[in-house]
Amino acid sequence: MEPQKNMATEPKPISSLVSAQPNLKASTTTATSKQVEEVELTPEEIDDVLRAGRQAKANRQKNDAYWQRVLNPGSAWSPSDLGSWILTESKRKDPQNLNPRYLGKKGYVLDEHSQAVFDLLCMYFTGHPDFEKAGQHYDQFKEGRFSLDKGIMMVGPTGIGKTALLFLFCDNPRQSFTITPCKVAVDTYEGAETSQQGKAIYDRFTVKSDVYGGRFRHGQGGRAFDDLGNETVPAVLFNKKRNLLLDILERRYEIGSEDSGLTHLTTNLTSQQIEDLYGKRIRSRMREMFNLIKFDPKTPDRRE
């Protein structure tokens, strides 16, 4: 007689185990919207849901803010942020001397004559609306009519730091710019070997500049012309005379800042001297192109 098998320990075929289970796929259903709305949550469950929702929203806001800073690196800068960064940069000497804002170990020194102008430029180059109300807050500018749609024109005696301020603010959150001394612009034009090269030089100064590599990653920007009136007037190219800076300014006026970038100027000339040298029409157009920032005539020479 064969020994009886122990039925309690003998494994069942897998097929029989599977067939013995209920059809889970067939019995699984999705609750309808009405059924979801009818589900009651306990106070603890409601707190958990709200907490998770708030955390998810905070994460999205943090992520959006991060990419906003990455894609628009100057968008969140305040005037005080820009001022602090510029003063720090004015003391930073890099190994290759590539920092245009470096002014020595002491950096840019603010005093009673430069503080208001510096504050005003910080507002302007961050696009702060208080710039247009500066006359209400600074006696020095109470007669000024300021607009963020215009460029900057700094007027004052020699040696008070107008050029230094251009270099301090050339890299800025709003629209960076390149700086060309007016004398260099004319000398470059007069040094052209052909009339075509002369035209190319003129054309270059009438359109936006390339400003790659700055802190605020602007591909193109405006142009600043330093020391208007220090250049040769008229410029001469192949016996043809031309008031080059007059032509450049008029062309930039006609094109508009949307296509040419913002235009900035420094000069020691008075309004009457500008009219005598460049004509009455451009003096009138300058009122439309520039926010006039006048330094106190008693401002001491920074070079002394």
Whole-number pLDDT of residue 72 = 56
Residue boundaries of the structural domains of the chain: 79-294
Predicted local confidence at residue 48, as pLDDT: 84
What's the pTM? 0.76
The whole-angstrom separation of Cα 99 and Cα 78 is 22
CB contact set of 233 (below 8 Å; sequence gap of 6+): 243, 245, 277
CATH second-level architecture of 79-294? 3-Layer(aba) Sandwich (3.40)
Predicted pLDDT of residue 223: 98
Low-confidence spans in the chain with pLDDT less than 70: 1-28, 62-75, 304
The predicted-structure confidence for 101-157, as pLDDT tens digits, reads as follows 898 899 999 988 899 999 999 999 999 999 999 888 887 888 778 999 999 999 998
pLDDT of residue 58: 80
How confident is the model at residue 7, as a pLDDT? 47
| DSSP letter for each residue of 140-179 | GGTT----TTSEEEEE--TTSSHHHHHHHHSS-SS--EEE
pLDDT at 25: 52
Amino acid identity, position 168: L
User: pLDDT tens, 277-298?
Assistant: 999 999 999 999 999 998 887 8
**Where do the DSSP E strands lie in the chain?**
151-155, 177-181, 209-210, 220-228, 235-237, 240-242, 263-267, 290-294
CA distances from 15 to 5, 11, 12, 18 (A): 21, 12, 8, 5
